[in-house]
Every structure is written in structure tokens, then in C-alpha cells.
Structure 1
Amino acid sequence: MSEQGFSTRAVHAGYEPDPQTGAVNVPIYASSTFAQDGVGGMRGGFEYARTGNPTRQPLEANLAALESGTFGRAFGSGMAATDCVLRSLLRPGDHLVIPDDAYGGTFRLIDKVFTQWGIEYTPVAVSDVDAVRAAIRPSTKLVWVETPTNPLLNIGDIAATAEVAHSAGAKLLVDNTFASPYLQQPLALGADIALHSTTKYIGGHSDVVGGALVTSDEDLDAKFAFLQNGAGAVPGPFDAFLTMRGIKTLALRMERHSDNAEKIVDLLSGHSAIGQVTYPGLESHPGHVVAAKQMRRFGGMISVRLKGGKQAALDFCARTQIFTLAESLGGVESLIEHPGAMTHASTAGSALEVPEDLVRLSVGIEDATDLLADIEQALG
């Protein structure tokens, strides 16, 4: 049989109905340990839930299938997955390249923790392949790309960046959180690792925190598996169950997120209070051509800059009624936030500091007419 379609994989990959009960959904195995048939005689390969759990295992297989990879590893958060990669691949004296508008949590971990252990980093515009090439040193072991980036929605050319990284002997990681596996397939474009905060679009319901790493490189997976078990930042069985439940509707949700976002972009682009709209689907976006090449659609994230500066941005955030003022993104509900004071506060005073007039929208799956009316009244 030829490879199944995305939605079929999302619903079925990694799990067959339970042979004893016929349960069509993955059971929640709330057990910390598993009986053995004699010393070393594990049933189904399970001995201790930090090492492996029968609810987490199908999730990991499903994540690998969604990213068209071979190996999937689930973590207790996106930052736990980030930490696993950094500790697996970097040693004192090593260097990595990161986006110059990286997610604030990624920047904070690298800048405040890993630099204390002798790791060096260079922020660079991921949209500029030549700049990435120039930033690479002999000690560079990892090129870290977000595309679209958080929160400025810049676009990196995954295939071109993979060639640059590999020619220098470095690995390429793509944080695919904003796009989701439905909209973008980094491994198929040459990336070595796809990373997700599964808290976001993959889970999709703002009710579970998690992270994931997917690769087709057996040696990389062995390193991730060692730290996943050794450090123990794993999701519990209920978290794994909720994430699996969310995945089943990922394709449907991403289509609706994209539909709604496009309508909102049309409104914002012509609004007198808005100075700039950033969305990869706009032909005026500098990365539009690359995004159109490597993404199925352009997603549900929009960034805008207000003509009235910081106070206008804060007022916009305060006045919405359907868009909830909250951190995070990718859930079924629409969210609004001020990155400079919220998700990216850690970048203040650094090369990664975000504009104070910037507002980030995570467009949900509500009725578009209601979302448009909410924005109109909030900007009114």
C-alpha cells in the first residue's frame, strides 16, 4: 500500500484497536511500573514509566509518522525537548546559530544557562541564507531555525539552510511549532531534527503541555532516548492521551486556522490603526515565495504593529473580547498578546528584543465574522 494521507496517519498511526477490549482509542496506562516475567522478562518491552509507557509509545510513533520521520520522542514540554537537543549535541566550546527573533524561552535557555557551560551562539536572520553561512564557525555543531519565526514570522528556506549546515558538518534543527506537521515537513526538506511544542497546534486545545523531537537519524535518536530516560522530562500517560486526541483533528483545525487568519489579514491590512501586518501569506511578505514553496498553507499566526506605538498595542490587547489576552498559541480559541511584555520579555535589551508596538494574534477556529467584529471594536 502506498503511503497513507496525512489525516489517515493522524488518526491511525502508532495504534491498533486493543486486541483484548477492542478500544479504538489509546488506553491511559496510569502505572509507574510493570510486572516482569522473571528477572529481565519485560512484557511488551515495558519496565518503568519514565523509560517507556504504553500510552506514550503510540504517541511517539504517531508524531514520527506525522513528520514523515523514523523516530519520535515525546517530552513533558517544548522546552524539555529543546533542552534535550542542546545537551545531546553541544559540549563546552561548541557553537550554534539561532534566529535573531527566536522564541523567548529558547533564547533564555541558551543565553542564561548554556553559555555558563561554555556554549557560544550567534543570532542571525534565518531568512538570509548567506548570513547563516557567514555565522557558521569551525566549532558550529547546530543550526537552529524557526520558520515561521516567533513572533516576527520571518521565513527560513529549509532546503537551502540544510545544505549550508551540512556542508559545514553541522546539524539542522527546525522548530516546526508554528507551522505544524500538516503545513510543513522539515525532514523531507533536509532538516535533521523537527522540534515541536506539542502544547500548541498538535495538542490544539490549550489543555496539555508537551514537546516532541522527530528525526530519521538513528544515532541522534539514540542520544535523545538516553537523555529522555536519564533526565526524565517525559509526559505522563494522561498528557500523552490528550495529545493523541488533539492530533486526530490537526488537519481540519489547521485549515480553519488558515481560513480565519486570511480573512483577518485582509481586515488588518486596510485598517487605519495598523502600521504593519506580517503574515507569510501576503505577497508583500519578504519570505512569501519561500513559504509558498515549503508550506501547504500559511497558518493561523499574525503579527501587527500599531501606529500609536506601545500604548496603542497594549490598548488593543486589553479591548478584545473574543481574543483572550494570554500567552501560548495554537489552540482552538483565539489569543492575543504583547510579546515584548509577555512571551519575549526575556529578550529585552538583547539583539533579539522585539518591537514594543508589536501584537501577536493566534487565530482560532471560531466563526470568522465574530473574530472580525471583535478586532474592529478593539481597534475602534
Structure 2
Amino acid sequence: MALTRLLLSNFRNISQADLTLDAGVNLFCGDNGSGKTSLLEAAHMLATGRSFRSRQHKSVIRHDSHGLTVFAQLDTGYSLGVERLADGGGRVRINQAAAESSSQLANCLPLQLINSDSFAALDGGPGVRRRLLDWTVFHVEHLFAQEWKNYQIALKQRNALLRRGKIDTQVIGVWEEQLAQSGERVDAQRRVQFLALRAAVSGLLEELPRSLLHHVDMGYRRGWRKESTLSEALRESRDGDLGQGHTRTGPHRADVRFTVAGEPAHNVLSRGQQKMLVCAVRTAMAQLVCRHREKPVFLVDDLPAELDEHNQQVFAHWVGRCASQVLVTGIEEGATSRPWRQLEAPWNCPKVFHVEHGNISAEASAAQ
């Protein structure tokens, strides 16, 4: 799985760009504000339908433009296109046909992002860590997306009933049954992949020099008491949920915890160790997906600003084992490319692009 061609129009400060990408490493170098991160952002939009820097499409559209477009061709034969308009409209297309949901994009283009926001996973809210696990489950368990959708539908209906203030036990019971059935299946799929993910993360951390990272433990909390079925937990919490106006029990409250000797990992590990732990988690997620389908694409934003040179090299080595392609940004070409050039082919011959004021040009030697 790799992007062979990436086209952008009116995406932030990039008016037009048409890039031919290589398998292996594609390196985008330029000063801060030049537009290099926007290229990663565009690739991310092709896999998710949205930016990783803004929830508002309008802020991503180039100033004085009515809309943006991003298009890509993949080595699998797929073509993906996303159009976002300033008035809120837009289209998502796969092989020129309208896509029903952004999950279809994600299925075509498994993608991992490493940027400064990625390192908030340890001390962020449960939703951040839950989405890490769910990315893995989504790409491995083909029934997960539908089960999660069914759960969300039932959850929305139960919450609507709770907000009315008066409960028809027969009606709410119907939705609780649907909620429990889908929720139990979601949890079962999550638990299987969590165990595999924990083992993969542990294996990666063992490759690092002896430190507190070797003592990191991962725990999974499913969102309701272990001794109860979800159906029982929903009935028991009904009165309390009525007072709060929403459902407080279920897989939507699940969490993945990282601890060292029982303490939250972010309270014990140094900032550098936390970053390597997150890199290990992201890499382990990709490793699990590789066992079931094509290798994912990695987007790596300014790694020299996040990791020292030794850890950059370790991370590059990890990625080289489980990625099909890397799009990486940096200010200085030598520092950014060094970890990759020390790997074996095709990783040791990055294709270099220079980005300046929204203009992208391929380095002559790499383009030949």
C-alpha cells in the first residue's frame, strides 16, 4: 500500500501541486510555515476525510478560494478524492464513485500519523487511547465497523430516552438489548486485539536499552464492571443515567491504561521516554495490521524536533519493518534524512522535495 501520485488544489498555502511519490521514504524539507506539514495533512484527509490540525474544513481551504481538492493514486489501483467547500459541502470519491462514509477511505488507505499531538496519548483523555486501539481493531476485524455503528445507533436512542426524563421501560429495554448485544461484540473484538497489541509493544520496548520502559504495563478497561454483563450493567445504571441524561456504562467509556509499577506512565517516565512509548504503540499497531492486510503508510512530522538522534534511528528501524511508505517532514534535510539513510533499501534512498512558500519541487537527483 503506497501513494504513487498526490495532487492538491487550494490546500492551505498550496495553490497547486502534483507530486509523484516513491515507495520507501519521501522527504519534504522547508522552513516553518512553508507548507510541508500541509502535505501530510492532505494525505491524512485522503484516509480520514478530515484534517488532523483543524475540525473546520474552511480553515484548511486556501484564502480567497471556494474549496479544496485532494486526489491520490495508490499502487493497489485505487484512486481517492476528497473535495471540501467553504460553504460546508463537499464530496468523497473512491475510484470516481461516491463513497458512503469516511470509513471506506480508511479501509483503502491504512495510515499512521506521528506528530507533536501524537504524544498526548498517555496523559490525554480515554477517548484518545481508545481510538488507538480501535484503529487496530477496525483494520483487523472486518465486522468491527458495523458492530460499532450499531452500538452508536442504540446508544443515541437510549440517550434520547434518558433526556426525556420519563422512561418507558419496555421501549428503553429494546434499545438496551441492542446496545448490549453490539457492545459485547465490540468489547470481545477489542480484547483480542488489545492482547496482541500489548505483546507487540512489549517486544518493541525490549529492543531499547534497559530503562523504565521495560517496566511499562498496559491494561484494558472495557467500560463496565467485570462481574456484570453489559445488559445487567445497563439495567443497574438506569436510574443514575436518568439523572445524568446520558449512558455512563459501556464500550464508549473504555480505556487503555499505561502504567509503571502501578503508577500512570506519564507521571513516571521522562518526556523522551513517553515519546518512545507512543512510537512503540503506533508501530505495534501497524505490525498487527501487517499480519492481515497491506502495510500502512506512515506520516511523520518533524521527527528531529521530537526525538534525539539515537531514538530517531530506532524508530526508523521499527517503521522500516512494518510500513509500505513514509512521508516525513523536516527543516534541515541532513538531520531529517539521516535515520532513514542508515537503513537498507528502499528506505536508504529518500526522494527529497523542497517546499518554499507553498511551492514544492523534487530534488533533481531524486527525480531522475
State TM-score, norm by structure 1: 0.24
**Higher strand proportion:** 2
Q: Which has the larger radius of gyration?
A: 2
State TM-score, norm by structure 2: 0.24
**Higher helix proportion:** 2
Higher relative contact order (CA 8 A, sep 6+): 2
